Amino acid sequence: MGVVIQREKQLLLVGSWGWISGQSLHIAPKSNGMAEAFVKTFKRDYAWFGDLKDAQTVMGQLGKWVEDYNERAPHKALKRLSPREFIKGQKLVS
């Protein structure tokens, strides 16, 4: 498949999760490091323990994994808060 078709599929998938897709500059090493850290964490905390028997099964689990990552999993960079807890705290301060 072409790059354009893959990108359209990616946008549909990301949109179904309620995410907003964005692109960073290819020359932004910080964003690449953040993406690599996310993938490493996601593999370690979710994929390693998930049911990986086939793609359909994995796709069925992704929503739960993403929800846990955002709602419950503590993040070192956010002072051991989940992203949702951190965002709620920022709104209270503002």
Mean model confidence pLDDT for the chain: 82
Residue type, 80: R
Query: What pTM does this model have?
Result: 0.60
Taking the C-alpha atoms of residue 10 and residue 14, their distance in angstroms, rounded to an integer, is 6
Which residue has 């503002």 as its token pair? 94
Q: How far is CA 27 from CA 6, 8, 66, in A?
A: 22, 23, 27
Q: Report residue 24 as tokens.
A: 């960073």
Half-sphere exposure of 37 (CA within 13 A, CB side): 9
Domain boundaries, the chain: 52-94
Taking the C-alpha atoms of residue 69 and residue 11, their distance in angstroms, rounded to an integer, is 20
| Residue-wise pLDDT tens digits, 43-68 | 999 999 999 999 999 999 999 999 99
What is the predicted pLDDT for the residue at 63?
92
